[in-house]
A and B are shown apart, each in its own frame.
Chain A
Amino acid sequence: MVFSLSGGKRYMLGKGGKRKFDEHEDGLEGKVVSPTDGPSKVSYTLQRQTIFNISLMKLYNHRPLTEPSLQKTVLINNMLRRIQEELKQEGSLRPVFVTASQPADPLSDNFREAQPAFSHLASPSLLPTDLVSTTPLESCLTPASLLEDDTFCTSPTVQHDGPTKLPPPALQPVKDSFSSALDEIEELCPAPTSAEAVAVAAESAAGDSKAHPCESSVPKPEGVAESRTAESKLMEPLPGNFEITTSTGFLTDLTLDDILFADIDTSMYDFDPCTSAAGAASKMAPVSADELLKTLAPYSSQPVTPNQPFKMDLTELDHIMEVLVGS
């Protein structure tokens, strides 16, 4: 494999045994990796992507009965911000993650503020459209073919100077309409003044940049005194203050995905004996699971699960759209 070549001496890749994902992962940690090297940049990117996904999972899949630890939340947030900063700085080499607004969650009362924390950075975050936009995904996840050629660095550049949405490639008609439907879902800013926000959001068609409409249309919900479920991370007793995790700008469409996507094969996500022993059994969001699957496909013997989400029925989507917009 490519790692045993020039980058080999810098990485402790197992003990010459079968290269499993966890060994590979362990061997890469704690090393100074300059992102400018050839294949070593790939491993650095991979690791960064993995950590990014893990961090997202930690923030959004945890449903405690008690308030989650603020220290833990802050540390995970800092990790995500740092990765985002790096991604932003790398700019042309990486796809843009558009700043996402918080979609409405029709199944729970989990209303969150719409203000992404990183709007000022104009930095991107994960989108469900990434599921369908394979071009950005590929350049981000460096599938094996690109690795062998070491041409990922020259993948098509993507705009990085603003929260512009990437036009998804028209691979399948289903995907396009699917992505457009999801765009509209994302436009829904779940503020209490949502009537206004929804109206504004519903107007914006797919393909518009996300961050601006939501930022301008949704005023800060001062005086909001809703009781929030345990899913909300930090709570201030005084109304009008923000929760830190909801304002990170990281996508909360994971709850949306829970509605749309049923079972995703997460068996690829087992890392270590020690992690499985610890019972890190939270269900992975399909977004990150899919990306991980693509990441791991070249390195594992397990087949990649078929992309179930892309076979969504159009009518089902429309129905869901109606439900969301109507609520």
Chain B
Amino acid sequence: MKIHRRIGALRKMKCFPCQFSNTVKSTQFNTSALMSVFEQADIISTVEFNHSGELLATGDKGGRVVIFQQEQENKTQSHSRGEYNVYSTFQSHEPEFDYLKSLEIEEKINKIRWLPQKNAAQFLLSTNDKTIKLWKISERDKRPEGYNLKEEDGRYRDPTTVTTLRVPVFRPMDLMVEASPRRIFANAHTYHINSISINSDYETYLSADDLRINLWHLEITDRSFNIVDIKPANMEELTEVITAAEFHPNSCNTFVYSSSKGTIRLCDMRASALCDRHSKLFEEPEDPSNRSFFSEIISSISDVKFSHSGRYMMTRDYLSVKIWDLNMENRPVETYQVHEYLRSKLCSLYENDCIFDKFECCWNGSDSIVMTGSYNNFFRMFDRNTKRDITLEASRENNKPRTVLKPRKVCASGKRKKDEISVDSLDFNKKILHTAWHPKENIIAVATTNNLYIFQDKMN
């Protein structure tokens, strides 16, 4: 199968169970047993490769960011790419309390976006529901030694005992990775931030909440510009919210935002300061044969991603992935069904809230394959050229590294073949919401509830 030649059989590289149990969060409001408090905080909420693919950042429900770094390729082991190891861990956001509303502000990291590297340090933006922070991650592998007034352990020397002077020199030390917050962009969002996106000018970025989108300059924290506002004058008339937003990868004046009604609006910031009027509206007419009570809910777009080329964009709604050509507004150019077998279960999924799960989607580096997650720890890939698709599972059962993943199949109805899984035995608590694809190589990161799996394709 051609898709296997492209993606290859994916081999599991490493599985990182989150082992943060030693961090006790005293402000946790979780009332269940102590063990589940730790587990709750470990839930991965975002995954993102940096621009070179060397670093992989994850954010979790406990407000922590963990960065993995790819090992430098070993010349002797040219048959496999470097593995990812933990590079840095830091607490990005803390839980807060909104006194006006008597409500907790979750520290869960909703999104992480990397800035392109300009110098030795790395920068990323991380956001929770209300506050965005710019973090600088820098390495330190040298330290000065030979101070005149300080001992090596830091104690101050008595100046009267100094008889000679020396010039301190830098000596190598064990690598230390430090993360420090450089900017804090706060108090600009009344509603929950769902997206951040860095502009191609690398100076500005947008942040989107349910009803508004703000434009920031990376250097200025006390001011942001509102560029989209869909809040109605009378909140009772509110029927639509913003679900995701992204800047175009090449045009610094263009961005899109998606809504809970299944529409995507493309806006041009040159047109006016407040981009409430869209330049393009992407919407597919509803299929009358599939109409149900839940049509609106399943049409709500949970993620929108531009292709690397900037010509296409991909949207994820509850049951499908759609690829839109920016030049055609009335329908997508490609539609891929992720788990159509769930269409007959929508009422149950509505009752247990699974219908509101926000799945993300991603492109591979060459924009030829798209990937998204599903339930039962399944994730799906669609090859746009061959129109083939594959379902894979991220689980600990195939725990040994270098195990080749076996394609999975869900049996919708009727006779279940061997090795197929029936819809009724799917575990809806095991959902893969966040996936990421290395920008240059066929390495993917897949986040289950609190495990991160990194797969690479088999190189022959």
Report Cα–Cα, A48/B429, bound state, in Å.
Answer: 26
Q: Report the minimum CB–CB distance from B378 to chain A (whole Å).
A: 15
Report Cα–Cα, A305/B324, bound state, in Å.
Answer: 53
Contacts of B105 in A (CB 8 A): 66
Given contacts A26-B345, A29-B344, contact A244 B293 (CB under 8 A): no
The closest CB in chain A to the CB of B348 belongs to: A272
Q: Report the minimum CB–CB distance from A240 to chain B (whole Å).
A: 11
The closest CB in chain A to the CB of B296 belongs to: A78
CB atoms of B239 and A78 under 8 A apart? yes
Q: Report the minimum CB–CB distance from A38 to chain B (whole Å).
A: 21
B241 is an interface residue with CB less than 8 A from chain A = yes
CB atoms of A241 and B344 under 8 A apart? no
Chain A 259-282 residues near chain B, CB threshold 8 A: 271-275, 277-278, 280
B16 is an interface residue with CB less than 8 A from chain A = no
Out of A66, A229, A280, name the residue touching B352 (CB < 8 Å): A280
Out of A22, A67, A82, A278, name the residue touching B103 (CB < 8 Å): A67
Out of B289, B300, B353, B428, name the residue touching A277 (CB < 8 Å): B428
Given contacts A47-B293, A236-B190, A275-B352, contact A65 B103 (CB under 8 A): yes
CB atoms of A65 and B29 under 8 A apart? yes
B426 is an interface residue with CB less than 8 A from chain A = yes
Contacts of A237 in B (CB 8 A): 100-101, 190
CB atoms of A280 and B353 under 8 A apart? yes
B104 is an interface residue with CB less than 8 A from chain A = yes
CB atoms of B350 and A69 under 8 A apart? no
B175 is an interface residue with CB less than 8 A from chain A = no
Contacts of B293 in A (CB 8 A): 29, 47-48, 51, 79, 82-83
Q: Report the minimum CB–CB distance from B423 to chain A (whole Å).
A: 10
CB atoms of A32 and B289 under 8 A apart? yes
B155 is an interface residue with CB less than 8 A from chain A = no
B290 is an interface residue with CB less than 8 A from chain A = yes
Contacts of B343 in A (CB 8 A): 29-30
CB atoms of A29 and B346 under 8 A apart? yes
The interface size of chain B toward A, counting residues with CB under 8 Å, comes to 53
A54 is an interface residue with CB less than 8 A from chain B = yes
Given contacts A66-B104, A274-B426, contact A71 B300 (CB under 8 A): yes
CB atoms of B104 and A29 under 8 A apart? no
Out of B236, B243, B348, B353, name the residue touching A271 (CB < 8 Å): B348
CB atoms of A70 and B236 under 8 A apart? no
The closest CB in chain B to the CB of A247 belongs to: B236
Q: Mark B425-460, 1 if CB is under 8 A from A, else 0.
A: 011110000000000000000000000000000000
Report Cα–Cα, A271/B129, bound state, in Å.
Answer: 33
B192 is an interface residue with CB less than 8 A from chain A = yes
Out of B102, B345, B347, name the residue touching A227 (CB < 8 Å): B102
Contacts of B344 in A (CB 8 A): 12, 26-27, 29-30
Out of B100, B236, B347, name the residue touching A244 (CB < 8 Å): B236
CB atoms of A247 and B235 under 8 A apart? yes
Contacts of A304 in B (CB 8 A): none
Q: Report the minimum CB–CB distance from A213 to chain B (whole Å).
A: 20
Contacts of A85 in B (CB 8 A): none
CB atoms of B234 and A227 under 8 A apart? no
Chain B 236-254 residues near chain A, CB threshold 8 A: 236, 238-241, 243
12 additional contacts (CB under 8 A) given A29-B292, A67-B103, A241-B235: A26-B348, A31-B292, A47-B347, A67-B192, A69-B192, A70-B191, A72-B356, A77-B239, A227-B101, A248-B236, A274-B428, A275-B351
- 7 A-B contact pairs sorted by A residue (CB < 8 Å): A51-B293, A51-B347, A54-B351, A70-B210, A70-B241, A271-B351, A275-B351
Considering the complex of A and B, which 4 residue pairs feature the smallest CB-CB distances, nearest first? A278-B352, A275-B352, A117-B236, A272-B348
